[in-house]
A and B are shown apart, each in its own frame.
Chain A
C-alpha cells in the first residue's frame, strides 16, 4: 500500500474513488430529494441551486437519482467481481497448483470464453437467465471467472516453485495449507489491479445492458437505466445524460487510475 501511495495515478484514483464511494454511502441513507418523488411543476428544469443536476421529465431530482443509480451500479459491479474473483481463485488456485489434465481442459475452456467479446456473451446469458438486476450480477460474475482464473493460475504456478513454498513443503505442510496460507497471500498484489479492471468492465457492461433495456429493470435504479431514460430527452434536458455520463466516467476513471497505479494495464 505504501509504495502504491507514491504513485500519482494511484493517489488520483484513490481520491476520485473515495469521493464516489462517500457520495454513494451518503446516498444510501440520505439524498436531497426522494429519487422517485415526481413533481408536475418542476419538469425538465436545468441545473439550479435547488436541483444541482436539474430535473427529469417527471420532475424528479436528477442529482438524487444519479447518486442512487451510482450506488446500485456500484453494488452490481462489486457483486459480479466478487463472484468472478471467488470462483476464479478456487479454479485458478487448484489448476495452477495441481496442473495436469484438469488444468489443460479448464484453461482451454477459459481461452475459448475469453475469445468472445464479453458483452456478447453477457447478452446471451441474459437471454438464457432473463433480465433483471440479479441475473446481470450472475451473468457478469460467470463471465469474469475465466480471466480471474487465468491470472490466479499463472501466479500460483509461479509461486509453487519459490524457495519459501518449497520450505513450507519441507516442514510437512499439506497441499491445502501451502496453497491457501503460503501462496494465496502473495498473489493478492497482482489480483488487486485485475479487480479494479474487472470492476470497470462490470460498470460498463451494466451500463450498456441496462441502456439496451436488457439489464436492470424499472423500478430498480442504475446508471445504465438512467442513461437509457435520459436518451429520450437528449435535446430538452441534455444535463440528464451529461451528469449520468459523468458519474459513469468518474467511477471508471477512479478505478482505472487505481489499477494503473498498482501496475495493471
Chain B
C-alpha cells in the first residue's frame, strides 16, 4: 500500500489579514488509514482540510508546500483536474448538519449528486445506489428518506444523509471536520461507529478533525496534534495517549474529565 495523501511543509497565508494560518505542516496518509487531527479552536484544522480539498479560494490565500493526492499535485493542477477528484477521490462531511444539505432539494437528489457529476449512470441506477447508500448509513426506510426534504430529517439523520452523499461514489478518502460536534452524545457514538464500519468495509481512509482527543481515539489508529498552525506531535493514537511527549498534548489530555478517560 502506497501513500494516498502526502502533505509536505504546507503553509497557508490569508491575504486579507496577511496572517499565516499554517506554518509548514507535514503528514502522510496510507490507503484506508484513519488519521485524527486534534487541536484547540483556531489551531488550523479546518484550514488544513480546506487546503487538502481544494476549497480554499486560490485568489485569497498564498499556499506553499505540497498536497499530493494519488500522485496529483492539488495546488498546481488545473481546476477541472481538481474537480475530477472532488467526489470520487475525496468526500467531505462537515460539522453542521443543519445547513449541509440544500433546503430546497430533495435528499435523494443530493445523495446522487456525485454520481450525476462524475458517472454516466442512468437515473434508475443512481436511484438504486443512493437508496443503498442511505440504507448503508443506517437510515430507516431509505426509499422514503430519498424523497424527503432536509427539514423533514433530524440532525443525526441529516448527518447520516451527508455521509451517504459522500460515500455513494466510494471515495478513497473521507474528510470529516467535526462530524459529530453538533450532535448529542448518543448519536455521536453511533455516527463514529458507522464511520469505522464504512472505513473497514470500503477501505476508505478517514481524516477526522476534532477538538476532542477521545473522539479521535474511538476511530483513528493515528493522530496528529495541532497547536497554533503547527503539528506538534504525531504517531499512534495509543502511544500518544499513554505517553504524550509534547507539553501541549499533555494539556489536552489533562483537560479530559476523569470520568471520560476510559471511553
Across-interface contacts of A171 in B (CB, < 8 A): 86-87, 91, 113-114, 117, 165
* Cβ distance B145 to chain A, nearest Cβ, rounded Å: 17
* Cβ distance A171 to chain B, nearest Cβ, rounded Å: 5
Considering the chains assembled together, what is the distance between the CA atoms of A177 and B96 in angstroms? 23
Closest to A182 in B: B102
Across-interface contacts of B114 in A (CB, < 8 A): 171-172
Considering the chains assembled together, what is the distance between the CA atoms of A170 and B83 in angstroms? 8
Across-interface contacts of B87 in A (CB, < 8 A): 170-172
* Number of A residues, CB within 8 Å of B: 17
* Cβ distance B169 to chain A, nearest Cβ, rounded Å: 9
A172 x B86 contact (CB < 8 A): yes
Q: A170-B86, A171-B87, A173-B113 are in contact. Are A162 and B53 (CB under 8 A)?
A: no
Across-interface contacts of A158 in B (CB, < 8 A): none
* Number of B residues, CB within 8 Å of A: 25
B55 x A172 contact (CB < 8 A): no
Q: Does B103 contact A (CB under 8 A)?
A: yes
Closest to B103 in A: A186
Residues 200-257 of A contacting B (Cβ, < 8 Å): none
Binary interface encoding of chain A residues 179-211 relative to chain B, with 1 for a CB under 8 A from any of its CBs, else 0:
000100110000000000000000000000000
Across-interface contacts of B162 in A (CB, < 8 A): 167
Closest to B109 in A: A181
Partner of A164 from the list B84, B85, B91, B100 (CB cut-off 8 Å) is B100
Across-interface contacts of A174 in B (CB, < 8 A): 83, 117
Considering the chains assembled together, what is the distance between the CA atoms of A128 and B253 in angstroms? 77
B55 x A163 contact (CB < 8 A): no
Q: A171-B87, A174-B83 are in contact. Are A164 and B99 (CB under 8 A)?
A: yes
B117 x A173 contact (CB < 8 A): yes
A163 x B117 contact (CB < 8 A): no
Residues of B at under 8 Å CB distance from A? Answer: 53, 55, 83-88, 91-92, 94, 96, 99-105, 113-114, 117-118, 162, 165
Beyond A163-B96, A169-B86, A171-B114, list 14 extra A-B contacts (CB 8 Å). Answer: A163-B99, A164-B99, A164-B101, A166-B94, A167-B162, A171-B113, A172-B88, A172-B118, A173-B83, A173-B113, A173-B117, A174-B83, A185-B105, A186-B104
Closest 3 pairs (CB-CB, A-B): A172-B86, A163-B99, A164-B102
